[in-house]
């Protein structure tokens, strides 16, 4: 039987001395094919070398399809034989490398075998993964395998599903025990009821009464009580305002408790609003000092110079609707816009002349060191447009705004 030994076996397995990569292990030639390799590689290569008579005979026996036949097995069949753990056969890739052929027909030719016929070659089933011979056998296997697969799926669907364990309900409402609220305790001094008397501040306590008697009278008018806004701005209050409202009902009740009056707007017999004496006196005082009694103060002048005992501009507007109506109720006339502007300018010039170059002169109508006219007298702001001097022809026309006094 003629055999065709590969001429490339030695070329594939042989390594040149230059591939030693600096290692000192000597290269030993294979006793069968003559390929030079190191001792470890030679130990693995010698038993499976195809020029080894024992290995060659074993490979030929496995690759022969039947005893005495010259037909070889298919590649799929060899994969099945070599995949068993105790076969001792090299893999298909290793066998192709040893035989020096990339095709399976070339491997069989090395061992003097002919390739199997096309219909005898085995193919892998796409459903179960088994290797089946080609031709009609492969078609029959594919049909049977698909039918079995569909029957198994139908049986799995028809099979009763196992009962699922009932899920525990989530967010179970557990009623809480009713909280026992202790009965409220009544304060013996102010008759207010509290659950926790340790946190109670009694408005009739001796220290609280002394503090309220000291801070409630208005500094400008001791017969009247301060406003709620002024009370909220007091530092280190002895008692909160909400506690006072609960104890006395309202701010008027607190004022009556301490013998004070609440400043309110008065009305005449016809129901028309009437000015209180402090506000009426303040309007006439400003009219005499600012305008010699000819006109009443403007809205801005009253805002700047009125004392705290008088009502504010917001309260007066709410009572009479307009500032002119408030001045009319006081028996004063309302001047024109130009009059108030000229009057403010005259006061400013007189003030600047009196101040001189030495520094500011104290004045009743000053805020700090600033003159009256610079802070304004409560008139609307007037804007006057004046053209700027054009220094260059290409300069765009510009204007600036000069703000007058209020």
Give the model confidence (pLDDT) of 1-11 as tens digits: 444 444 444 44
Q: Does residue 350 surpass a pLDDT of 80?
A: yes
CB atoms within 10 A of CB 23: 9
Q: What's the average model confidence in pLDDT over 132-146? A: 73
Measured in degrees and rounded to the nearest 5, phi and psi for residue 49 equal -65, 135
Taking CA atoms, 205 is separated from 119, 209, 210, 255, in Å, by 116, 6, 9, 17
* Single pTM value for the model: 0.33
The whole-chain average pLDDT of the chain stands at 76
**Contact present, 72 and 114 (Cβ < 8 Å):** yes
Give the span between the Cα atoms of 37 and 18, in whole angstroms.
12
Q: Distance of alpha carbon 67 from its chain centroid, rounded?
A: 80
The larger pLDDT score, comparing residue 359 to residue 259, is at: 259
Q: What is the pLDDT of residue 133?
A: 66
Place of tokens 């001047």: 335
What DSSP designation does 226 have? P
Q: What is the pLDDT of residue 126?
A: 72
Name, of 65-79, 116-130, 249-263, 392-406, the range with top average pLDDT.
Answer: 249-263
Q: What is the pLDDT of residue 347?
A: 86
Q: Does residue 53 surpass a pLDDT of 80?
A: yes
Going by their DSSP bridges, the two strands 399-403 and 383-387 should be labelled as: antiparallel
Taking each helix axis as running N to C, give the angle between helix 53-63 and helix 75-82, from 0 to 180 degrees, rounded to the nearest 10: 120
The larger pLDDT score, comparing residue 83 to residue 391, is at: 83
340: exposed, middle or buried (Cβ count in 10 Å: 0-12, 13-18, 19+): buried
Measured in degrees and rounded to the nearest 5, phi and psi for residue 225 equal -90, 150
Name the pLDDT band for 400 (thresholds 50, 70, 90): very low
**Contact present, 108 and 63 (Cβ < 8 Å):** yes
The larger pLDDT score, comparing residue 135 to residue 261, is at: 261
Q: What is the pLDDT of residue 118?
A: 66
- Closest CA relative to residue 380, chosen from 300, 322, 306, 324: 300
165-222 pLDDT tens trace: 887 777 667 777 888 888 888 888 888 888 888 888 888 899 999 999 999 998 877 8
Cα angle for residues 320, 325, 330 (degrees, 5° grid): 100
Radius of gyration of the chain (CA): 58
- What is the per-residue DSSP string for 166-210? PPPPSS---PPPPP-PPPPEE-TTT--EES-GGG---TTSHHHHH
Ramachandran bin of 77, using left for φ above 0, alpha for ψ from -120 to 50, beta for the remaining angles = alpha
Q: What is the torsion angle, in degrees rounded to the nearest 10, for the CA atoms of residue 326, residue 332, residue 336 and residue 337?
A: -60
Q: What is the pLDDT of residue 136?
A: 64
- Closest CA relative to residue 110, chosen from 120, 101, 119: 101
Q: Does residue 399 surpass a pLDDT of 50?
A: no
Give the three-state DSSP class for 158. Answer: helix
Percent of the chain with pLDDT over 70: 76
Q: Does residue 124 surpass a pLDDT of 80?
A: no
Give the span between the Cα atoms of 275 and 310, in whole angstroms.
10
Q: Does residue 406 surpass a pLDDT of 70?
A: no
Q: What is the pLDDT of residue 135?
A: 55
Domain regions of the chain by residue span: 9-17+25-116, 122-150, 205-263, 266-335
Give the span between the Cα atoms of 82 and 58, in whole angstroms.
12
60-99 pLDDT tens trace: 888 887 787 888 887 777 887 888 778 788 888 888 888 8
Q: Does residue 402 surpass a pLDDT of 50?
A: no
Give the span between the Cα atoms of 406 and 393, in whole angstroms.
37
Q: What is the pLDDT of residue 250?
A: 87
What percent helix, strand, coil does the chain show, rounded to 5?
40, 10, 50
Measured in degrees and rounded to the nearest 5, phi and psi for residue 287 equal -65, -40
């Amino acid at each position: 039987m003629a055999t065709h030994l590969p001429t490339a076996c030695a070329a594939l397995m042989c390594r040149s001395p230059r591939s030693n990569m600096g290692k000192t292990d000597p290269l030993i030639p294979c006793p069968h094919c003559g390929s030079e390799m190191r001792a470890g590689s030679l130990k693995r290569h010698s038993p499976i070398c195809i020029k080894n008579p024992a290995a060659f005979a074993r490979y030929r026996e496995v690759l022969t399809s039947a005893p005495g036949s010259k037909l070889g097995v298919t590649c799929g069949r060899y994969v099945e034989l070599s995949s068993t753990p105790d076969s001792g056969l090299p893999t298909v890739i290793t066998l192709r490398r040893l035989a020096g052929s990339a095709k399976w027909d070339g491997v069989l030719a090395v061992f003097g075998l002919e390739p199997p016929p096309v219909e005898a070659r085995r193919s892998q089933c796409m459903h179960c993964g088994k290797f089946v011979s080609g031709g009609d056998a492969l078609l029959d296997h594919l049909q049977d395998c698909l039918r079995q697969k569909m029957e198994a799926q139908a049986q799995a669907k028809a099979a009763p599903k196992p009962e699922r364990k009932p899920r525990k309900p989530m967010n179970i409402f557990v009623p809480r025990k009713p909280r026992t609220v202790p009965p409220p305790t009544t304060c013996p001094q102010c008759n207010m009821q509290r659950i926790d008397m340790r946190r109670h501040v009694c408005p009739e306590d001796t220290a609280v009464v002394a503090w309220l008697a000291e801070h409630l009278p208005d500094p400008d008018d001791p017969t009247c009580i301060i406003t709620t806004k002024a009370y909220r701005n007091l530092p280190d209050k002895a008692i909160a305002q909400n506690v006072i409202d609960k104890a006395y009902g309202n701010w008027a009740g607190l004022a009556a408790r301490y013998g004070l009056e609440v400043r309110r707007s008065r009305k005449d017999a016809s129901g028309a609003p009437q000015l209180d004496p402090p506000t009426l006196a303040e309007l006439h005082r400003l009219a005499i000092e600012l305008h010699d009694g000819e006109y009443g103060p403007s809205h801005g002048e009253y805002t700047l110079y009125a004392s705290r005992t008088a009502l504010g501009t917001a309260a007066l507007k709410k009572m009479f609707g307009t500032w002119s109506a408030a001045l009319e109720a006081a028996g004063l006339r309302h001047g024109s816009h130009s009059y108030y502007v000229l009057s403010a300018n005259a006061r400013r010039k007189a003030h600047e002349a009196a101040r001189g170059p030495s520094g500011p002169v104290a004045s009743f109508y000053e805020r700090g060191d600033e003159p009256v006219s610079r802070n304004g007298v409560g008139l609307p702001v007037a804007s006057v447009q004046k053209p700027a001097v054009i220094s260059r022809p290409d300069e765009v026309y510009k204007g600036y705004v000069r703000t007058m006094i209020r």
